[in-house]
Each structure stands twice: as C-alpha cells, then as structure tokens.
Copies of this chain bind each other. A is one copy, B any other.
Amino acid sequence: MPTSPLRKDAARNWERIVAVARELVDEGTPLQLNDIARRVQMGVGTVYRHFPTAEALLETLATPTLEALVAHGEGALADDDPGRALAGFLTRTIEAQVTDAALPPVAAAPTDALPRTTELKEAMWSIGSQLLGRAQEAEVVRADLTSADLVPLMCGVAFAATVHGGPDSRVETARRYLTTLLEGLYVH
C-alpha cells in the first residue's frame, strides 16, 4: 500500500497503477510510465506524481515481496539450527527472485529510488549477515564466505535459472542450482 495516507480517490489510482504495473512486469513488458498512464486511463502527470520514475514503481512492486522475505528472515533468526536457518532463508530468497519478476532488477541495482527499498535491502543484508555469522560460528558453513557475497550469489543463481530456458521450470531449476551451491557452501 501507499507509504503515506492518501485521499480515497488518490489511493484508488495508486492501486490501479500498481496493479497494471504488476501485470506488465509479470508478462515481461518493460515499465514505461507513459504506457501505464494510457492503460490505467490516467494522465501521465498523475502517474508521475505517484511514482517519479519507473524504478520507483518497480521498487514499489518489489516491496511486499521484500517485506515477506524480511519477515521470514526475522523468524529464521530465532531458529536454533543455524545451518537450517541460513539455508531456509536463502531458499526463500531464491524462490522470491524467480517468482517475482520485479525483484531481480531491484536486488541487483546498486542504488535505490525509494528509501523504503534501501531499508528493506539493508534489513535483508543484516539478517543474512547474522545468519551467516551463526552458521560459520557453528562451523557448518565455509569460513571464507562473507556476508557481502550473499546477495550477489542469490542474484547469480536467479540469473542462471533465467538463462536456462523458458519460464516454465524456472523455479525448479533455480532450486536445483541453489541446492548445488549450498552443497559447496556448507562444510561436510
């Protein structure tokens, strides 16, 4: 939902824009604010007021997914099996990347359009960092891995699944790749 409370009609517009953008992203159409304005039958200005750039809109789409990931991650921090906790977190992250087409570009981008996105990405980073630290302390994960590697590796796995082929088996493929990678990350 919108960051700040909006008038009822404005809120309705916001929702419509987001809904249409979601459809476009899902079908692989590049987001263009003009295009969206036409589809939702609003003036471009209105769309720009809500979302100053296409990136902002894209990040808005990715936000709920990121929030869910963070929520899951916070749960994982409570898990007393550090190996399982990290693996679960990474698995969820990969599934999200492959399932939500808005996520990969947001995850890979070095800078963000929305502060909220930065917040969430930092939360993800922090959670990953803690989970990794615990797993390494427990000596179930290789010591040479740093928390700065987690995001790139997840992006890499998702990208690999994308290169693999059609979008049909993408989730499955991504899971397979992650399993293999974890095999390499974990100590035996």
Contacts and interface: CB of A to CB of B under 8 A. Distances in A.
Contacts of A144: 176
Nearest to A145: B180
Contact of A180 (B151, B165, B184): B184
A1 B188 CA distance: 49
Greatest chain B CB density within 10 A among A161, A164, A184 is at A184
Majority SS at the chain A contact face: helix
Nearest to A142: B180
A185 B183 CA distance: 8
Contacts of A149: 164, 176-177
Interface residues of A, number: 30
A106 to B, nearest CB: 12
Contacts of A176: 144, 149
A66 interface: no
Interface string A109-152: 00000000000000000000000000000000010110011011
Contact of A163 (B142, B151, B163): B151
A171 to B, nearest CB: 14
A51 B169 CA distance: 36
Contacts of A161: 152, 156
Contact of A156 (B108, B142, B160, B165): B160
Contacts of A151: 163
Contacts of A102: none
A86 interface: no
A155 B145 contact: no
20 contacts: A142-B183, A148-B164, A149-B177, A151-B163, A152-B160, A152-B163, A152-B164, A152-B173, A152-B177, A155-B159, A156-B157, A156-B158, A156-B160, A156-B161, A156-B163, A159-B159, A159-B160, A180-B184, A181-B181, A183-B184
